[in-house]
Chains A and B, each alone.
Chain A
Amino acid sequence: MKPRTVLIGLDGATFAVLNPLMQDGTMPFLQKFVASGTHALLRSTIPALTPPAWTSMMTGRSPGYHGIFNFFGKEAANSAHIRLLTSNDVGAETIWSYANRHDLRATVLNFPLTFPAPHIDGQVVAGGWMPWRQLRLGCYPPELYDRIKTLPGFNPREIAMDMAHEEKALEGVQQEEYEGWIELHTRRERHWFNVLRFLVENDPTDLITVLFDGVDKLQHLCWRFLDPVYAPTLTEAWEFRVRQQCVNYFAQLDGLIASIVELAGPDATIVMTSDHGFGPQVRTFFVNTWLQQHGYLAWADGEGPRPSETSVLGMKQVARHTYQLDWTRTQAYASMPGGNGIQIVRADADHPYGIPDTEYDELCAKLVAELQQIKDPETGEAVIAAAWRREEVFVGPYHDMAPDITLELQDGGLFSILASETIVSPRRPPTGTHAPDGIFIAGGPDIRRGVELPELSILDIAPLLLYSLDLPIPTDLEGQVPSEAIEPSRLIRQPVHKVTAEPKAAVVAPEVGFEDESGLDEEDEAELMRRLQALGYVE
C-alpha cells in the first residue's frame, strides 16, 4: 500500500527565502515541483505563531474554536496562572482523528501539541516542546519508540528538544557557534526523514504528515544570512561560511523532500505548507516595560525580570510573573512570550485590586488607543500595526481563554515580556521573525500544473487534505477546498461533498496510565460540567 496524501510541513517557510534558493539551483527539486504543481501564499492565524497555526491547519478551525493561542494557556478564563499546553487542550477534532473515524490510518511526525501522544490509528511521534528525555512518552503506539530507536544513527537528543540548545538559540549564538547549530538542524531533519522512511516502508498509512521545523529555527537566528536584502552586509569570511551552511541546510532539505515524494509514489497528493511566513525583526518591543511606564503594571521588586533571565522555557516561565508582579498595582501584563497577548487583571477573590467588570471595556479601549500611539524613537515609525480586542479576532467556545488584547507589531515581530531600560530597542543586525504569509505548494495527479493562486487561508488546508482522501468535508470547518488547485476532471469525478458536523465527534483520548472512571452518575456529571466550566473548557 502507498500513502494517498502526504503533508510536508516546513515551519516558517516563506517564498522570500525559498524563491532565490530555487532560482540559484540550491533547491532544484522544489523548483521543479512548484513549476509542475500549484502554489500560493498561505495566510496564517492571528497570532502567526506555531501552536495556534499548526492546530488550525490540522483542525480546519480558528483558535477560538480549538483553544490554542500560544505554547502556554491560562488555567482558566480569568486566571493569572498559566501552563504549558498539551494535546489534551486541543478542543477541535484533528484531521488525523477524522481520517481514523473513516477507516483511514495516519502518521503524525513532529507536530506541536501532540504530547501526550494521541491514540491515532497509525503512528505518532510528538514534536513541539517535546524534551528528548521523554520522547518515549510522545510515541504512539507506545512500543513505537523501541522500534525507531534502533534506526541507524538515531539520536533522541538530536531529534527531540534539547533545552540547552534551544535556550542558546533564544539568546543568540556566538560567531563560532553558528555552524554547529545549523549542522545540528540539518542532521535533525534527516533523523525525522529516517523515521518517516522506516514507517512508510514498514507500515505505511493513508495520510502521512511530517513537520520539519529547522526552517523556522534557522530563519530566527540566521535571517541576515538568508534574506538576499542583507547579502551586501556579509563581508567577513565567517559570515560567508555561515551563509554557506544555511544554503547547505536548504539543499539537504530539498533532497529529503525529493525522497519523500519518491517514497509516496506517483499517485499520491503532496501538499507542502508553512504555518506562517518570516521576515526581518528590526526592533524589540518590551511590552511590560511600556505597561509599567504608563502605570498599568508594577514589579514586586521594582525591577522585573532582566534580559539576562533567559530561563524562558521551564518552570520559571510558567510561574515567575505570579510572584514578580505586584498584584496590588497591576492592571495589565503579558506573561507568555510569543503570542503578543496582553492580559487584563480582573477583580476576583484572588485579585481584589483587579479591574471590576464595569471598568473592563473602558480600560481595554484606552489601552488599544494608547498602544497604537507608540513610536520607534529612532525612526518615528509606529511600533504597533494593530491592537485587537479579544472579541474582534476570536470567536468560538474558547474565546475567553484568549488574551484580552492581541498585538500585531509593525515589523511582524513578537514582543518581549522581559523588563528593559527602554520600551523599544533596535535589533542590529536584524533577526528573523514570524510574518503572516506562509507557503502553499501542492502536486500530484489531481493537482493543476503550473498554477499560481491568490492567497489561501491556513483554514483551507484541512478541507483540501480531506478531499484528497475522498472524505466528506464537515460543514463546521471554516475554510474551503481550494478547488482552483484541483484538476477539473477530478472535481467532476469527485465533487466536494459536505456533511453536517457531528455534534460530538469521537474523542481520541491521549495516553492514560490510570484506570478509566466510567459510569458517571448524573450528579457526577453535573459536577464534572461545573468544574470544566470553571476551568473554561466548556461554555
Chain B
Amino acid sequence: MQPSRDQILTDFLAILRSLSDDWEYSGELNEKTCLIADMGLESLDIVVLGANVQAQYKQVLPFSEFFAEVGQRELPDITIGEWVDFIHEHLSAQPILESKEGVAA
C-alpha cells in the first residue's frame, strides 16, 4: 500500500528525531526545517538518507535528478517538506527494490 504524505512525513521526522539526539540537535523539526542550514547535515548525510529511504520503502527513487536540481540552486539545501514531497511524488504503490544478495546466484 502506498503511504500517504502524512505517513511519509511522520516516518521521516521519526528517523530525524532518533538520529538528531545523537548529535544533540535540539532545534525545531518541521516541514520548514532546512536539512543543511538548520540541522547541520552535510551533503553526504543527505545522499545516505536518500539511500536509507530507498531501503525503507524498497523502491529506487530518482534521487540523482533531485540532487542535480538542488545542486544547481544558489543555496543548495532541502527542507523537510520538500524531501517529503519528493518521496510522496515518486513512490509508487508497489515496492520493487529487493535486497540483491543471493538473487543473482
Contacts and interface: CB of A to CB of B under 8 A. Distances in A.
Contacts of A527: 94
B81 interface: no
Given A92-B104, A94-B101, A134-B49, A512 B42 contact: no
Contact of A528 (B47, B52, B96): B96
A81 B103 contact: no
A133 B23 contact: yes
A420 to B, nearest CB: 21
B28 interface: no
Among B46, B65, B72, B100, the most chain A Cβ lie within 10 Å of the Cβ of: B100
Interface stretch (A185-193, A230-238, A310-318, A406-414): A310-318
A131 interface: yes
Interface residues on A, range: 35 or more
10 contacts: A86-B55, A91-B101, A93-B101, A115-B51, A137-B15, A164-B42, A319-B70, A323-B68, A512-B56, A513-B15
A67 interface: yes
B58 interface: yes
Interface of B is mostly: helix
Given A92-B105, A315-B76, A504-B102, A134 B57 contact: no
Interface in B32-62: 41-52, 54-58, 60, 62
B65 to A, nearest CB: 7
A514 B58 contact: yes
Contacts of B51: 83-84, 86, 88, 115-116
Interface string B59-90: 01011110110111000100000000000000
Contact of B67 (A132, A319, A515): A319
Contacts of A531: 96
A186 B72 CA distance: 38
Interface string A318-335: 111011000000000000
Interface residues of B, number: 49
Contacts of A528: 94, 96, 98
Contacts of B54: 86, 88
Nearest to A94: B101
Contact of B101 (A90, A134, A398): A90
Given A90-B101, A507-B102, 12 more contacts: A81-B65, A87-B99, A116-B52, A116-B55, A118-B99, A133-B45, A136-B22, A313-B44, A504-B103, A513-B15, A528-B94, A537-B103
A156 interface: yes
B100 A133 contact: no
Contacts of A86: 51, 54-55
Contacts of B22: 133, 135-136, 145, 149, 156
B44 to A, nearest CB: 5
Interface of A: 65-67, 75, 81-84, 86-94, 97, 115-116, 118, 129-137, 145, 149, 156, 161, 163-164, 311, 313-316, 318-320, 322-323, 396-398, 476, 501-515, 517, 524, 527-528, 531-532, 535, 537-538
B104 A315 contact: no
B18 interface: yes
Given A133-B22, A134-B49, A161 B44 contact: yes
B61 to A, nearest CB: 10
A532 B100 CA distance: 10
A395 to B, nearest CB: 12
B104 A538 contact: yes
Nearest to A84: B47
A517 B19 CA distance: 26
B94 A524 contact: yes
A311 B43 contact: yes
A293 B56 CA distance: 44
Among B23, B46, B64, the most chain A Cβ lie within 10 Å of the Cβ of: B64
A323 B58 contact: no
A517 B76 CA distance: 35
Contact of A131 (B45, B62, B63, B102): B45
Contacts of A91: 100-101, 103-104
Contact of B41 (A133, A311, A318, A538): A133
Contacts of A132: 23
A100 to B, nearest CB: 12
